[in-house]
């Protein structure tokens, strides 16, 4: 599951970068070239679980590292939140460091992401496990997972393998 999330995060980041790209045609992605190719910085801010939580934070960080490895000019970093009061400060630090895309990992960061996005309209934000619906700021992308789909498959497998004719959770 972690690999799937990491792949999803990488895909989302690459899509965000494509949308932020220039149509001028003079930039290249080869590491040794010049001609205007600039570093593209992406940061993530963890929730209180930390970067090694064996869940969303860790898989998100692994996805960002994969992005950096596979994209010349991409630089990634993270800021770890020890408590909820760190969210806003860490989001500000990420912007101050020149990141063009800032990921907030976890629904608990939704208020902090909203405030940061309104204060920094030139920065693209994304939040994992939250959707603002019609109130989504223009520079924010909410990433929601369809947890019901794999859950359905687990239920189906349980129904096909039960020896008692009953399943539960």
Boundaries of every domain in the chain: 2-9+38-161
Q: What is the pLDDT of residue 169?
A: 66
Q: Please, are residues 87 and 81 in contact by the beta-carbon 8 Å criterion?
A: yes
Those residues whose C-beta lies under 8 Å from the C-beta of residue 105, and which sit 6 or more positions away, are 44, 45, 46, 47, 56, 57, 60, 127, 128, 129
Token representation of residue 63: 């996805």
Please report, for residues 3, 84, 95, 120, 145, the alpha-carbon distance to residue 106 in angstroms, rounded to integers and kept in the order given: 18, 11, 18, 20, 12
CATH code, residues 2-9+38-161: 3.40.50.2300
For the entire predicted model, the pTM comes to 0.67
CA distance 97 to 32: 24
Of 30-44, 57-71, 108-122, 142-156, the range with the lowest mean pLDDT is 30-44
Token representation of residue 165: 């004719």
pLDDT, tens digit, for every residue of 45-70?
Answer: 999 988 899 888 899 999 999 989 99
CA distance 100 to 31: 20
Is residue 117 very low, low, confident or very high in pLDDT (cuts 50, 70, 90)? Answer: very high
């Amino acid at each position: 599951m972690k690999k799937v999330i990491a792949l999803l995060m990488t895909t989302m980041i690459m899509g965000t970068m494509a949308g932020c790209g220039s149509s001028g045609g003079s930039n290249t992605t080869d590491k040794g070239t010049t001609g205007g190719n600039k570093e593209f910085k992406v940061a993530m801010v963890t929730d209180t679980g930390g970067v090694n939580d064996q869940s969303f934070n860790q898989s998100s960080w692994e996805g960002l590292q994969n992005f950096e490895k596979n994209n010349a000019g991409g630089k990634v970093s993270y800021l770890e939140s020890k408590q909820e009061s760190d969210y806003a400060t860490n989001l500000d630090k990420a912007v101050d460091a020149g990141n063009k895309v800032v990921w907030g990992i976890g629904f608990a960061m939704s208020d902090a992401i909203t405030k940061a996005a309104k204060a920094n309209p030139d920065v693209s934000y994304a939040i994992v496990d939250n959707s603002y619906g019609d109130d989504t700021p223009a520079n924010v992308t909410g990433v929601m997972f369809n947890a019901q789909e794999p859950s359905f498959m687990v239920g189906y497998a349980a129904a096909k393998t039960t020896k008692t004719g009953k399943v539960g959770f």
